Structure 1
Amino acid sequence: MRLTLSASLAVLAFAAASSASAEEGMWTFDNFPIAQANATLGTTIDQAFLDRVRLSSVRFGGCSAGIVSDAGLVMTNNHCVATCVANLSTQAVNYAETGFTPKARDEEVKCPGATAEVLTDIADVTERMHKAGEGLSGSAFTRSRDAEAGRIESEACGPATDKRCQVVSLYRGGQFKLYTYRKYSDVRLAFAPEDRAATFGGDLDNFSFPRFAIDAAFIRLYENDAPASTPTHFVWKADKPVEGTPVFVSGSPGATQRLLTQDQLMTIRDVVLPMDQLIASELRGRLIRYSEEGERQVFEAMDPIVGLENTYKRGLGRMRALTDPGFMAARVAAETDFRSKAGDRVFADLSAIQPTLRELYPAMALLEGGTGVGTTPVAGGSQLFAWARTIVRGAQERAKPSAERLPEFGDARLSAAQTALFANRPVYPGLEQVRMEWWLSKTREWLTVDHPYIPALLGKESPEQRSARLIEGTKLADPAVRRALWEGGLSAVEASDDPLIQYLLAVQEPTRAVRTEWEEKVQAPTDRASEQLAAARFAAYGDAVYPDATGTLRLTYGLIEGSDVPGQRWGPFTTFAGLWDRATGAPPFDVAPKLLAAKDRIAGDTVINMTVSSDTIGGSSGSPVVTAAGEIVGANFDSTVLTQRNAYGYDRNVNRSVIVTTGAVTTALRDVYGMDGLVAELGVR
């Protein structure tokens, strides 16, 4: 593809295209700029390469992964299997402390509720989706489009349980594609190191470099109770990486906001990020306090605290970008250029929505979630609350025709809801109560005591009283109880005496009202205006434009290289020798016991981590890093704080993805954890 944009615009959201000197773009596999990538990198990839990479790439929960053997073996990050490890662990047998090191395949253990997916097909359904919204506005527009998406998904996948179909909005409504996935519902943990090996340096080193983390793990895909046959897979390459090598990163980045207007970004800067940051920091504080109560509480709160720390640092980096005069001036220049081509009308429509969005955001974020712009966890992330809401809403929605339901309960999506609901996961009542108590307290604080929805949420009780009563009285921790309520339908749900079920029934009116108002006044007009803006963008820039990330599979590329800008000056590699030098013996710079015991068996110059100038963001964790020959040389696990501006625009000077190398993973498997079976399966000699 030939590009029509100047280099000064190429790093910015509205252009969203790459110049010859910048590895920008989270490209979809059906619109990847092969010629441009080859010209930039000096490679000779072709469509066959793209097909192999796509079929070897895996979406795993909110992470990415890569198939590395013909028997369903998949490499991802250790932090991507942290929930699985926590679910399989107890205080007596804590795999986060010891590592999970099965000696044979029959010792691999199923991750509760986990699914993995491989993208098999992409089809254009733009015309159908646009036609579904013609002449409509408000919630009628939203519901009509949701219903059409559900019909398309049902037509494509039907009752199949080994496939999943998803209508994906690209270019903020400019295009719609049907993504078809091969779905694996039996995903088993095959290896995880000691947590300290994967998180050396803790929160102090998080979102930074140099790093010394073996943040890698393996899962295995199963079908019919046997390892899946996966003849298409990446080739394992454990050689020492070479600076300047071109590489490709394939994964499912969560969300970028590069195509937003400046007025939309000001709403994020002034309303969304400040609220989300305050929320995350206070919830983290409450969980830390909870963890100080004893060893059991430390065990229960460890994984949630790490997740909140990631959320907070990510938001911090994004706030710095939105308050960086140089970065924002470049975005303004790009928008000015775009306005000269597209006109002001659609921009004005989006600007007019912002006061309403600012007003409605707190209630929508706290009571419903799913705003598309923030990260505030509903009910503090309470698992019991999430199950109760699925049961109650599922029962209410399934009583309607599929086209009239909330989209998450359409026929094509019910299997995903059931998988999550029926999973046998441990529940920690103390932790659940902290989450619920925090949520009720913060909701009352943010919405104010006089808000009309507060009586339904609290009645005459305090947040402490209500959360204690609900969590102590519910029986939803038992998967059999959840299954019985789900299968019993609306009559069983309404007859239930479970206090959490009754609570969710009681709060449906206000929470659904919040969602309806958001759809009517924010989501629908935003989607309509964004669709028009996308058409103007295509007219101005053609197909040299890539879409914002949407949690769907993308391919980016770059070079193995260090950084030389203020605040991050370093070479591209760290080694085991550097790990030993950095270690102090005191947390968080204490080396994992098994790793430390293997010190004399490990070559000090073995590279642990490296940095790459690829275009990645949250959700790219676990993304396979591959050469032009299709050899996997690492997995993305982090990026720097400065890179968090990547949500709003790519800046090659500061953008660096942090990679754990296959050489480090091989060393850990062979010399630390005795995983000889996996080493042989990977073809290491």
Structure 2
Amino acid sequence: MKRFSLLFLGAVLLLAPLSRADEGMWLLPLLQKYNIATMQSMGLKLSAEDIYSVNHSSIKDAIVMFGRGCTGEVISSQGLVLTNHHCGYGAIQSHSSVEHDYLKDGFWAMSMEEEIPTPGLSVTFLVRIEDVTDVMNNMLQGRITESERAKIIEAVGDSLSAEATKDTHYYALVQSFYGGNAFYLLVYETFNDVRMVGAPPSSIGKFGADTDNWIWPRHTGDFSLFRIYADKDNKPAKYSPDNVPYKPKHHLPISIKDLEKGDFAMVLGYPGSTTRYMTSWEVEESEKITNSNRAYIRGIKQDIILEDMLASDEVRIKYASKYSGSSNYWKHSIGQNQALKRLHVKSSKEKSEAEFLKWLDGNGKRKEAYGEALPLIRDAVKGRRDYVHANQYLLETLYMGTEIIGLASRANDFYKYLNEGQEKISDDEKEKEMAKRVNRFKESAKAFYKNYNCPTDKKVAKAMFKLFNDNVSKELQPELFNIIRTDYNGNFDEYIDNLYDKSIFADSVKLWAFLENPSAESLKNDPAFYAATSIGKTRESYSEKIGFFNDNYKKGHRLYVAGIMEKNEGKPKYPDANFSMRLTYGKVLDYYPKDAVHYNYITTLKGVMEKEDPDNWEFVVPDKLKDLFESKNFGPYAMKNGEMPVNFITNNDITGGNSGSPVINAKGELIGCAFDGNWEAMSGDIIFEPDYQRCISVDIRYVLFIIDKYAGAKRLIDEMTIAR
């Protein structure tokens, strides 16, 4: 194993300048070895040290992990953070009400005193990345199972993380890269006092909504603003009115100069997940199971929810964030399946596998080292097929698709305590422990009910239970479904009506009454809790079955990636995205999506007006924006030709998690905020398509124009560093 590790790392260190400039999500500590020469030949004026440095301020110190799944960038010396509107959407929604509808009307703090604290929202800075592959692999010697391997990795990772953060307020984790063949320690600093500063109305921030999502040309002002607050020593602190704006090590200067085709552009951020080493069997699984199921189930659920949202402002506000999160990957699944077929991705993967097998046949040692890789993957994917299908249906329709089931499942630990946990503590502690558990569950339920509408959930539940029953074989269904067939003669509407009528979880009044005098017996007899328990047991059985196959898959995948690295020694390879900070570089670039069709690299406010449809909520244009357009009151943010830019595209390699990432020019200046990919390359997480892959960004000049001319919040412009 040790010899293998050294061979592998040797191959990795040789991977550099032959890669396409526009492909790859690269690790920052390796830029000097792999990428900087190519980047500078494309026009970059900075050094690798200017981008990533442990000892000095650098661009990475202006990049944050925003919340739990996005990226943001610091754009002023007072901790002002820019991210996407859809990344800040949950926060905007949480502060909205019928009386203060920030989703519909937007929000702008005209002073720091008006900036709104947002509990639960955090931003995280990367402190450093350290290669710990040799340390980890030294502990992975000998013949060990995949389960044993995982336990060792976890234990060693915990030890390394603890040592790295000793006597600091940082946190750290060890992540695997290159299919589990390399390991890096990542150290972070998190700030939890983050306040909402500004957001355009959804008619700007989500203009085009589902129809335009993933589509170019695009005309969306997808941005929002927040501010980081710290204690008087500039350290992370929980919310306090005494906290002050954070002073960053670095903030991004902003360029308002015109963009030209071919201009250098790089994106730094936290791409969530790619599967570029996916095999043909996995492509088929994604196409026929994962994507197809998600698109079908969510399409039905979203139609029900949207009908209620359009009928009531209260329901619209409650479900805005949930609907947006669901619909984003509903459309992604549809687009990815179309791209997988159109671009013949499965055939491309089969060709790569054939080349790999041919390479193995040429050498006995290779065959011994990597010969079982593809058979392990193939057999695992085929073996888990039925369980993956059933598990996805269970999650999409019941466990996450029906909200009351999700709430009832949270009571499982509380039930265990009521049923047997009190025997383990003294009488003196029982009252205190009960009060603590009741309060904890009540706080969780309060957050749930804030964004819950029982009639909507009931409609969804009737559709979702039927969907699960019709599409999952009976032998894989929870015991609950046998009861519905027996006691309700298979009438799901009648069963759902009874569940919502009788469950304590259907509304807060019933649940609060139960919590006044909770008992295990009452919970056990509650129909929603019983349903959640039955569904939970079935989910555990699926996980056990899938886990058996996944152990073999993980081994096969690790060996396959290791073999590819050795096979392609001397050629550049980057690890799959795993929500660690990466850099991708490319150019501002147009493209030809199909025969006789050309898409320019930039869109303007004129296009917003052309798309306007006052009868379609997705394409409503605010009156003030129309007035600004008619008067050409664009300030210093217009292009030289007098038009107002809105969005632009580059050929940077991005994925989910890059939302909110800064698009930076050759001088290290901010030119845009990435927010989407394009329809023609929806297979990009699986295979990079250089002719089609584009990153869609909101032009920073449109951001400044909306802040200044539309919102009148020039105080925010004044704290930025503008390069004119």
The TM-score, its normalising length taken from structure 2, stands at 0.79
1:593 aligns with 2:623: yes
Q: Which amino acid aligns with 2:612?
A: A
- Please name the residue that 1:610 is paired with: 648
Contact 1:427 1:477 in 2 (8 A): no
Q: Which amino acid aligns with 1:278?
A: Y
Among 448, 472, 476, the alignment partner of 1:447 is 472
- Please name the residue that 1:186 is paired with: 193
Structure 1: distance between partners of 2:543 and 2:500? 27
Structure 1, residues 421-466: CA drift from partner, whole Å, max 9, x if none?
6995732133444555554443333334453523289765746246
Among 158, 161, 165, the alignment partner of 2:172 is 165
Describe the shift of the 1:615–1:470 C-alpha distance in structure 2 as closer, same or farther (beyond 3 A): farther
Describe the shift of the 1:523–1:393 C-alpha distance in structure 2 as closer, same or farther (beyond 3 A): farther
1:58 aligns with 2:57: no
Among 119, 122, 133, the alignment partner of 1:115 is 122
Among 560, 571, 580, the alignment partner of 1:533 is 560
Structure 2: distance between partners of 1:36 and 1:393? 56
Describe the shift of the 1:245–1:146 C-alpha distance in structure 2 as closer, same or farther (beyond 3 A): same
> Which range moved further: 83-92 or 381-390?
381-390
SS, match of residue 249 in structure 1: strand
CA positional deviation for 1:617: 1.6
Structure 1, residues 530-584: CA drift from partner, whole Å, max 9, x if none?
2222221222224721111122221101111211231752211112233334434
Contact 2:400 2:406 in 1 (8 A): no
Structure 2: distance between partners of 1:71 and 1:381? 41
* Aligned CA-pair RMSD: 3.7
Structure 2: distance between partners of 1:395 and 1:118? 39
- Please name the residue that 1:45 is paired with: 46
Structure 2: distance between partners of 1:179 and 1:479? 43
Structure 2: distance between partners of 1:610 and 1:477? 50
1:243 aligns with 2:243: no
- Please name the residue that 2:384 is paired with: 357
CA positional deviation for 1:89: 0.4
Structure 1, residues 212-269: CA drift from partner, whole Å, max 9, x if none?
1111111112224322221312112223323221010111122111111122222222
> Which range moved further: 148-157 or 609-618?
148-157
Q: Which amino acid aligns with 2:30?
A: N
SS, match of residue 677 in structure 1: helix
**Structure 2 counterparts to residues 11-410 of structure 1, below 5 A:** 19=18, 21-32=20-31, 33-38=34-39, 41-51=42-52, 52-60=58-66, 61-127=68-134, 131=139, 135-137=143-145, 142=150, 145-146=153-154, 148-157=156-165, 163-223=170-230, 224=237, 225-324=243-342, 326-342=344-360, 343=367, 344-367=371-394, 376=396, 379-380=399-400, 389=409, 392=412
- Please name the residue that 2:537 is paired with: 509
1:639 aligns with 2:639: no
Structure 1, residues 331-359: CA drift from partner, whole Å, max 9, x if none?
43333333333454311111111222212
Contact 2:376 2:555 in 1 (8 A): no
CA positional deviation for 1:649: 1.3
1:547 aligns with 2:575: yes
Structure 1: distance between partners of 2:407 and 2:182? 33
Structure 2: distance between partners of 1:48 and 1:257? 29
Contact 2:46 2:668 in 1 (8 A): no
Contact 1:494 1:502 in 2 (8 A): no
1:574 aligns with 2:603: yes
Q: Which amino acid aligns with 1:163?
A: Y
The TM-score, its normalising length taken from structure 1, stands at 0.83
CA positional deviation for 1:152: 4.6
Structure 1, residues 592-639: CA drift from partner, whole Å, max 9, x if none?
234234332225512111110111122211110011221111101112
Contact 1:380 1:438 in 2 (8 A): no
Q: Which amino acid aligns with 2:42?
A: L
Structure 2: distance between partners of 1:331 and 1:209? 27
SS, match of residue 658 in structure 1: strand
Contact 2:648 2:696 in 1 (8 A): yes
Structure 2: distance between partners of 1:478 and 1:644? 46
Structure 2: distance between partners of 1:468 and 1:583? 42
**Structure 2 counterparts to residues 615-626 of structure 1, below 5 A:** 615-626=653-664
CA positional deviation for 1:282: 1.7
> Which range moved further: 448-457 or 470-479?
470-479
> Which range moved further: 27-36 or 349-358?
27-36
**Structure 2 counterparts to residues 425-436 of structure 1, below 5 A:** 426-430=450-454, 431-434=456-459, 436=461
Contact 2:284 2:346 in 1 (8 A): no
- Please name the residue that 2:433 is paired with: none
SS, match of residue 671 in structure 2: strand
Q: Which amino acid aligns with 2:372?
A: R
Contact 2:23 2:688 in 1 (8 A): yes
Contact 1:643 1:656 in 2 (8 A): yes
CA positional deviation for 1:119: 1.4
Structure 1: distance between partners of 2:599 and 2:44? 26
Structure 1: distance between partners of 2:176 and 2:42? 30
Structure 2: distance between partners of 1:652 and 1:253? 18
Describe the shift of the 1:388–1:177 C-alpha distance in structure 2 as closer, same or farther (beyond 3 A): farther
CA positional deviation for 1:107: 1.2
Q: When the two structures are aligned, how many residues end up with a matched partner?
A: 637
Describe the shift of the 1:27–1:670 C-alpha distance in structure 2 as closer, same or farther (beyond 3 A): same
Q: Which amino acid aligns with 1:592?
A: P
Structure 1: distance between partners of 2:578 and 2:270? 8
- Please name the residue that 1:7 is paired with: none
Describe the shift of the 1:442–1:226 C-alpha distance in structure 2 as closer, same or farther (beyond 3 A): farther
Which structure has the larger Rg? Answer: 2
Contact 2:70 2:660 in 1 (8 A): yes
CA positional deviation for 1:391: 6.3
Contact 2:172 2:187 in 1 (8 A): yes
Q: Which runs of 5+ in 2 are unaligned?
A: 1-13, 53-57, 231-236, 238-242, 361-366, 422-439
CA positional deviation for 1:396: 7.8
Contact 2:399 2:535 in 1 (8 A): no
